[in-house]
Structure 1
Amino acid sequence: MRVALVGMPGGGKSTVGRQLARQLDVPFVDSDTEIEKRIGCAIKSFFAREGEEAFRLIESEVIAGLLAADSDMVLATGGGAVLREENRDCLHERSTVLYLRSTPEELFRRLRHDTQRPLLQVKDPMAKLRELFAVRDPLYRRTAHFVLETGRPSVQGLVNMVLMQLELAGLVSPMRVKASVGAEPH
């Protein structure tokens, strides 16, 4: 069971991924966290110092390494992971890829106060989100096995949508998924 989440920055990949991994009882891995362990600093600092191309090369190596291991996981990727064809191919061939699709307007609402995303530290972040979306949306779609519109559901609502999609596709046994719909809170 290897599930990879792709989508725009702020699309909920890490948040949904953590809960999904918990529901499936598999490890959660965030490729950005793994990259920071490898480079020994924050991505934002590395990005500013070394540039996007150097970052994308390391990102590709990290994703390939994570998916080469024969272990179950839910993997949250960075928003730009799909920019390289080798990443798209690796993700699609070695995992079940879910695209958490959010509109630029939804993303702006979530990210307008975020100072940690290097590509959004620009004069007009909304224009940048629209530009990124125009380039990346077709790449996310090409990489994904399933596309889920994030809209306004809660995180748990999104997790349930992902689980239902995986179950309907025969990728997850109903017995493996902990009941959460209609379940009483502890």
Structure 2
Amino acid sequence: MIERPRPVADGENGNYRLLRTIVLVGLMGAGKTSVGKRVAARLGVPFIDSDSEIEIAAGMTIPEIFASYGEPDFRDGERKVIARLLTRPPCILATGGGAFIEAQTRAEIKEHATSVWLRAEVETLWQRVRGKPGRPLLDAPNPRAKLEALNDLRAPFYALADVTVDSTRDASHEKMTDRIIEAVLRHDAGHAGQAPTLEVLEK
């Protein structure tokens, strides 16, 4: 689902213009949606959740897609939806936890966007997702152990993201927003030969 940002006061967006989509990757509970919405509002651009867009395209919820078709078919549909979303004007795009693991999806993101891994400790993730519905991959006798196994499996792929930002339990959403923008600016500065993600505007 695309969410339009709330109106921002003059200068509240930090005097930046988003030139390249920022794609948030990481495990469930990392804050991709909650923080992503605030980054979008700060920069005055749309926020898009790829899982919501998949549900709209399929006319089914994510758990229903998993139950009816299995994970491989879900990943194929996810790849197509994300590729389509990457053709839109720059936005903040939050992806499902497994999206960045797929090589083709990862390549599409690399070509068209700047990826940001929201990295968090497993215990932090667990405290955020425990008891919440709609997590088919945690439908297991020991969901915390499953989450830890997913982290072990996926972390090496998330580490391929352009930028890594630590999502800590003590960081407010506003602090995380600051961290992401600052990290992207550092990435731009370190890759001067590439098209920047953020343009710094005159005050």
Same fold per superposition (TM over 0.5): yes
The Cα of 1:165 is off from its aligned counterpart by 1.6
| C-alpha distance 164-41 of structure 1, shift in aligned 2 (>3 A) | same
Q: Which runs of 5+ in 2 are unaligned?
A: 1-19, 190-196
Tell me whether 1:6 sits opposite 2:25 in the alignment: yes
Q: Please state whether the residue corresponding to 2:96 is helix, strand or coil.
A: coil
Residues 132-152 of structure 1, C-alpha deviations (whole Å, 9 max, x = no match):
01110011111x111011112
Residues 143-167 of structure 1, C-alpha deviations (whole Å, 9 max, x = no match):
x111011112111110110111223
Q: Please state whether the residue corresponding to 1:41 is helix, strand or coil.
A: coil
Q: Distance in 1 between matches of 2:118 and 2:149?
A: 18
Within 5 A, what are the aligned runs for 1:59-78? 59-69=78-88, 71-78=89-96
Tell me whether 1:175 sits opposite 2:201 in the alignment: yes
Within 5 A, what are the aligned runs for 1:1-186? 1-69=20-88, 71-142=89-160, 144-152=161-169, 153-168=171-186, 169-170=188-189, 171-175=197-201
Q: Distance in 2 between matches of 1:82 and 1:97?
A: 9
The Cα of 1:41 is off from its aligned counterpart by 1.3
The Cα of 1:48 is off from its aligned counterpart by 0.8
The Cα of 1:127 is off from its aligned counterpart by 0.7
The Cα of 1:104 is off from its aligned counterpart by 1.3
Q: Which runs of 5+ in 1 are unaligned?
A: 178-186
Matched AA of 1:101: R
How many residue pairs match? The answer is: 175
| C-alpha distance 176-137 of structure 1, shift in aligned 2 (>3 A) | farther
Matched AA of 1:160: D
Q: 8 Å contact 1:20–1:74 — kept in the other structure?
A: yes
What is the identity percentage for the equivalent residue pairs of Structure 1 and Structure 2? 37
Residues 45-77 of structure 1, C-alpha deviations (whole Å, 9 max, x = no match):
1111111111001000001111133x1111000
Matched AA of 1:102: A
Structure 1 residues 164-173 or 129-138, which shifts more? 164-173
Q: Please state whether the residue corresponding to 1:68 is helix, strand or coil.
A: coil
> TM-score, normalised to structure 1's length?
0.89
Cα-Cα RMSD: 1.5
Q: Distance in 1 between matches of 2:202 and 2:166?
A: 24
The Cα of 1:105 is off from its aligned counterpart by 1.2
Matched AA of 2:68: R
| C-alpha distance 159-123 of structure 1, shift in aligned 2 (>3 A) | same
